[in-house]
């Protein structure tokens, strides 16, 4: 019948009753009503146009079209929910997960009754009932399982020794075939581990298993999690929020941790709005930054002034962190940390340093350089006490206009504290640029789970923030109160004491339920009251980082998860990962470690090894017709040299070794004002008596690059390479350069002397955007007039800008740098890249124009560079 009916309807499918109703509902929702007669045509009505007819009266036009505008808004609203037939389809995007399609407790309470009706209708009520009442699997062996395991061991031993039992069994069943010994060993190991776990639990001061794991003058042992996840945490440690983040983020295994790389939902524009300019920010971003290792250094040389600690800190930071505002004013220092074991000018990476007292320092380091710095400090343990607090102190980083307000909604002080009172006042602010550099709050907080839900502070004496409140942060700084809390935070015994009587969620819920049944003598029954001698107190510190304009909260390791759960229940609070933190650094024209630190060993390996291999693997997986053939790209440079075909340098990374050899070779060829020769047509290459290539033109320099690359590939056991570039400021350069010009073996000096570079941000003046590893060229003097005219704009006869112009191509020796991070900048509305250019070439230019070319293309874009600080 269906086939006959379809022929009678021209092959169209016949819709049933429900499909017809759904189609009519969508059509009615999308239909927009309009007035039959325009309002402007009525007599006496104001005219939409002026008397001359050349201008539109906007207010009168909107008034006359008010009915149509309302109908348009109503149609848009109805159309949005017309096709949503189930409650899960009308949830916000962050709640739409397949795991929530059968669990009523994963949706807001106001929608649960409708969800239950829909699930009963679709025969899913039993699934929901079973999922909500299913018993959770407990960790380890309970009493019944432990008894059965011990009895199994006894029976197995009896069966292996008793002759009567052996004879009663079938002949094919023997102890060797059943692996009785192995089973006894396995059961014995399970019994031993369960007994040890129960014994250790008795030694703890809480029922949650929280304890302090600190290494004093030694590296701390990796914490052991639940037995269920032992294999997963064998080589990569889980952060406190790992399970929460693993359900909502893409995870990354690096530096001994499993880190959140990026949320599963798209958040590039969201990160720009909330984490960027405060004018557009109406929320906050949070990230678990516990992977940043913490070292507490204490001077135990019986010197109150802490001169030896001051000497060590000065060596680590190049003397910058010993300034008075850092050492006495308790301002957080953000800068480079150096390896002073060999040379103080060798940077390792960024650090955060905070002076607690003159003899105590908190040092926060990236995990890639943590062990190296810790081993350097261990050489001075006769005068220093070094604590490895990687697994005993956790931290969360917050960014955005509502960062402090969100924190204030989750934290409550145990007693009256001046620092907490200042924190409550400043939490009303949204623009943190008005705050002083020293902006630190430290107090003892109650368990965040005592609050049934995050709640804003309803202070009856709360008033609008004025300028005097900001000045009071500097003038009435509670130095003694903050030092008391910081000393507790730096003491392992005090941190372990903070876990005393740490309650479970079940215990807190029981106290809250009991509170609801008591007489109404307590006003706020949703908040469990704090009992001073029974409930634990959490020492924590909130520090503002001036350079990155964000906040860090440092607290004991096992107290981070309760705070994290409360933070992420706040509206307009979103979690981010390392990728979003890198985006914020990029938009603020700041370097991100380790991607934008090629002048350090960790940054150089990140670029030349890890990212290079990932890019090459992605390129090799593409079919031949879909991937770029870098060796066949034409018209890249003005002159084609025999040494290279197509793209120069490494195709999948920023080839800093190539830049070092090229710039050193060009400087050598231009010594004593000699003319630079690109190639010698009489010869392709020449070697001296020692078998070393002679350098007489640019082509010889490129040939030497190929020789060096082939030589490094043949080394079976690669050693740690020296970083080919260093960083300095544009005003001065501290790098040593060869002064002699008479060399028997100049090829040694091409790779021996590192090139001095400066960190820059390149903003494109036209269309397009740079990508990672893009090449940066200097503008040749003979082409400067053309590019300056292009910067002003070349327009067509119709008034539009002409982008299809023939541009002059630079030479290969005009390469001066690379882009390490490049994409489209949402704030400025054009492409921008962060990279490094050669210092010598940058100082010789009269202007700040450069040419940027992406890898694998022959299109050059004009850009203007500006120096940024490391």
Strand-by-strand arrangement of the 293-299 sheet: 215-216, 384-388, 293-299, 360-365, 347-357, 333-338
| CB atoms closer than 10 angstroms to residue 503 | 20
Buried b (16+ CB within 10 A) or exposed e, 244-279: bbeebbebbeebbbbbbbbbeeebeebbbebbbeee
Q: Which residue is associated with the tokens 């960027």? A: 276
d(CA 180, CA 162): 14
C-alpha to C-alpha distances, 74 to 22, 30, 32, 69, 77, nearest whole angstrom: 19, 9, 8, 9, 5
**Under a CB-based contact definition with an 8 Å cutoff, are residues 295 and 373 in contact?**
yes
Residue 432 burial (CB count, 10 A): 19
CA dihedral of residues 820, 826, 832, 834 (deg, nearest 10): -30
3-state helix, strand, coil in the chain (%, to 5): 40, 15, 45
Q: What pLDDT score does 313 carry?
A: 94
Q: Are 815 and 641 within 8 A, CB to CB?
A: no
pLDDT score for 239: 95
* Residues 456/408, Cβ–Cβ less than 8 Å: yes
Q: What CA–CA distance (Å, rounded) separates 192 from 147?
A: 13
Q: Which residue intervals of 656-783 are DSSP H helices?
A: 656-669, 698-714, 746-752
Cα(869)–Cα(754) distance, rounded to whole angstroms? 20
Residues whose CB is less than 8 angstroms from the CB of residue 233 and which lie 6 or more positions away in sequence, other chains included:
222, 224, 225
- Residue 378 DSSP one-character state: G
What CATH homologous superfamily does 293-388 map to?
A: Aminomethyltransferase beta-barrel domains (3.30.70.1400)
- Which residue carries 């003598």 as its tokens? 521
Which of helix, strand or coil describes residue 575? strand
pLDDT recorded at residue 3 = 44
In Å, how far from its chain's centre is CA 52? 59
* Under 8 Å between Cβ of 77 and 69: no
Q: Cβ distance 212 to 536 under 8 Å?
A: no
End-to-end CA distance of the chain: 77
| Ramachandran bin of 274, using left for φ above 0, alpha for ψ from -120 to 50, beta for the remaining angles | alpha
pLDDT per position as a tens digit, 608-633: 999 999 999 999 999 999 999 999 99
91: closest CA among 115, 123, 67? 115
Contact 779, 851 (CB under 8 A): yes
pLDDT of residue 11: 61
Q: What DSSP letter does each residue of 419-437 carry, written as one string?
A: HHHHHHHHTT-S-GGGS-S
Domain ranges of the chain: 18-131, 227-288+401-577, 293-388, 601-867
CA 138 to CA 141: how far, in whole Å? Answer: 8
DSSP per residue over 595-608, as a string?
A: TT-TTSHHHHHIII
The half-sphere exposure of 636 on its side-chain side, counting CA atoms within 13 A, is: 26
Q: How far apart are CA 580 and CA 285, in angstroms?
A: 10
- Integer Cα distance of 603 and 616 in angstroms: 18
| 31/29 Cα distance (integer angstroms) | 6
Q: Mapping DSSP to helix (H, G, I), strand (E, B) and coil, where does residue 251 land? A: strand
Helix axes 143-161, 180-203, angle to 10 degrees: 150
What are phi and psi for residue 640, nearest 5 degrees? -90, 120
Q: What is the 3-state secondary structure (H, E, C) of 821-846?
A: EEEEECCCCEEEEEEEEEHHHHHHCC
Q: What is the β-pairing status of strands 573-575 and 284-288?
A: parallel
Judged by DSSP in three states, 703 sits in helix
Count, residues in the chain: 870
Q: In sequence order, which residues have a C-beta less than 8 Å from that of residue 20 and are 6 or more positions away?
A: none
3-state SS assignment for residue 695: coil
- The Cα–Cα gap between 472 and 334 comes to 24
The two beta strands, 347-357 and 550-556, are unpaired
Q: Which candidate, 301, 365, 310, 377, places its Cα nearest to that of 340?
A: 377
Query: Following DSSP, what letter does each residue of 134-147 receive, concatenated?
Result: PPPPPSS--HHHHH
Taking the C-alpha atoms of residue 495 and residue 212, their distance in angstroms, rounded to an integer, is 7
Please report where in the chains the tokens 């935070």 appear, as a residue: 489
pLDDT in tens, 323-358: 999 999 899 999 999 987 655 578 999 999 999 999
Q: Are 100 and 88 in contact (CB under 8 A)?
A: yes
Q: Which helix (H) or strand (E) holds 758?
A: strand 755-764
Spatial contact of 665 and 812, defined as CB atoms under 8 Å apart: no
**Are the beta carbons of 292 and 367 closer than 8 angstroms?**
yes
Q: At what angle do helices 418-426 and 479-489 cross, to 10 degrees?
A: 100
341 vs 361: CA distance, rounded Å: 20
Q: Model's pTM, two decimal places?
A: 0.81
Query: Which stretches of the chain score pLDDT less than 70?
Result: 1-11, 35-54, 80-85, 95-102, 123-140, 175, 177, 195-202, 227, 278, 341-344, 458-464, 520-524, 682-685, 688-691, 714-720, 731-748
């Amino acid at each position: 019948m269906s086939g006959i009916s379809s022929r009678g309807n021209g092959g169209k499918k016949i819709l049933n009753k429900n499909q017809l109703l759904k189609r009519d509902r969508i059509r009615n929702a999308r239909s927009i009503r309009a007035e039959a007669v325009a309002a402007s045509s009525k007599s006496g009505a104001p005219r939409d146009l002026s008397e001359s007819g050349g201008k539109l009266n906007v207010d009168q036009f909107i008034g006359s079209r008010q009915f149509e505008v309302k109908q348009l808004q109503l149609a848009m609203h109805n159309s949005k929910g017309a096709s949503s037939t189930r409650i899960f389809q009308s949830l916000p995007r962050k709640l739409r997960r397949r795991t929530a399609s059968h669990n009523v407790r994963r949706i807001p309470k106001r929608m649960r009754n409708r969800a239950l009706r829909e699930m009963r209708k679709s025969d899913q009520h039993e699934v929901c009932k079973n999922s909500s009442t299913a018993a959770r699997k407990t960790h380890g062996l309970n009493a019944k399982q432990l008894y059965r395991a011990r009895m199994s061991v006894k029976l197995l031993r009896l069966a292996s020794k008793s002759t009567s039992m052996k004879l009663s069994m079938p002949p094919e069943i023997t102890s060797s075939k059943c692996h009785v010994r192995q089973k006894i060993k396995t059961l014995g190991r399970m019994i031993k581990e369960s007994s040890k776990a129960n014994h250790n639990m008795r030694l703890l001061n809480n029922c949650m298993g929280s304890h302090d794991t600190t290494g004093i003058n030694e590296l701390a042992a990796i914490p052991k999690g639940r037995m269920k996840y032992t294999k997963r945490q064998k080589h990569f440690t889980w952060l406190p929020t790992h399970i929460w983040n693993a359900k909502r983020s893409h995870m990354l295994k690096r530096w001994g941790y499993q880190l959140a790389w990026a949320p599963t939902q798209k958040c590039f524009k969201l990160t720009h709005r909330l984490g960027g300019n405060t004018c557009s920010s109406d929320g906050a971003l949070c990230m678990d930054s516990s992977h940043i290792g913490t070292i507490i250094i204490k001077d135990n040389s019986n010197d109150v002034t802490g001169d030896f600690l001051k000497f060590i800190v000065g060596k680590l930071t190049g003397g910058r962190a010993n300034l008075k505002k850092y050492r006495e004013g308790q301002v957080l220092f953000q800068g480079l940390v150096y390896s002073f074991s060999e040379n103080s000018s060798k940077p390792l990476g960024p650090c955060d340093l905070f002076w607690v007292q003159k003899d105590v320092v908190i040092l926060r380091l990236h995990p890639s350089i943590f062990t190296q710095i810790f081993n350097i400090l261990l050489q001075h343990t006769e005068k220093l006490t070094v604590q490895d607090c990687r697994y005993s102190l956790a931290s969360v980083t917050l960014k955005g206009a509502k960062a402090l307000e969100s924190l204030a909604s989750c934290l409550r002080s145990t007693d009256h504290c001046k620092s907490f009172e200042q924190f409550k006042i400043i939490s009303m602010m949204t623009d943190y640029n008005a705050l002083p550099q020293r902006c630190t709050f430290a107090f003892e907080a109650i368990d965040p789970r005592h609050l049934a839900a995050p709640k804003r502070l309803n202070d009856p004496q709360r008033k609008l923030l004025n300028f005097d409140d900001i000045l009071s942060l500097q003038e009435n700084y509670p130095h003694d109160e903050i030092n008391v809390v910081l000393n507790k935070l730096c003491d392992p015994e005090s941190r372990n004491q903070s876990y005393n009587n740490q309650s479970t969620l079940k215990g807190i819920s029981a106290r809250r339920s009991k509170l609801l049944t008591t007489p109404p003598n307590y006003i706020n029954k949703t908040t469990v009251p704090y009992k001073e001698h029974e409930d634990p107190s959490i020492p924590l510190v909130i520090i503002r980082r001036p350079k990155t304009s964000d906040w860090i909260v440092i607290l004991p390791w096992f107290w981070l998860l309760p705070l994290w759960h409360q933070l992420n229940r706040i509206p307009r609070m979103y979690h981010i990962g390392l990728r979003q933190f890198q985006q914020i650094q990029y938009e603020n024209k700041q370097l991100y470690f380790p991607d934008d630190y090629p002048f350090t060993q960790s940054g150089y390996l990140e670029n030349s090894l890890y990212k290079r291999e990932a890019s090459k693997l992605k390129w090799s997986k593409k079919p031949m017709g879909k991937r770029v053939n870098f060796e066949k790209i034409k018209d890249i440079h003005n002159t084609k040299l025999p040494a290279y075909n197509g793209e120069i340098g490494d195709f999948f990374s920023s080839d800093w070794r190539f830049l070092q050899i090229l710039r050193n070779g060009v400087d050598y060829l231009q010594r004593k004002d000699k003319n630079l020769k690109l190639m010698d047509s009489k010869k392709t290459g020449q070697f001296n008596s020692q078998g070393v290539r002679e350098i007489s033109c640019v082509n010889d320099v490129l040939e030497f690059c190929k020789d060096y690359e082939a030589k490094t590939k043949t080394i079976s056991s690669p050693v740690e390479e020296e970083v080919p570039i260093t960083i300095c400021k544009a005003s001065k350069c501290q790098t040593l350069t060869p002064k002699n010009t008479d060399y028997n073996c100049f090829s040694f000096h091409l790779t021996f002397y590192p090139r001095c570079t400066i960190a820059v941000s390149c903003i494109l003046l036209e269309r397009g955007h740079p990508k990672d590893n893009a090449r940066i060229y200097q503008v040749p003097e003979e082409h400067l007039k053309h590019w300056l005219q292009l910067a002003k704009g070349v327009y067509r006869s119709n008034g539009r800008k002409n982008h299809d112009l023939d541009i002059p191509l630079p030479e290969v020796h005009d390469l001066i740098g690379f882009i390490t991070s490049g994409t489209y900048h949402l704030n400025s509305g054009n492409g921008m890249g962060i990279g490094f250019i050669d210092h010598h070439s940058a100082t010789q230019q009269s202007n700040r124009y450069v040419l940027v070319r992406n890898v694998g293309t022959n299109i050059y874009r004009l850009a203007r560079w500006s120096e940024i600080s490391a």
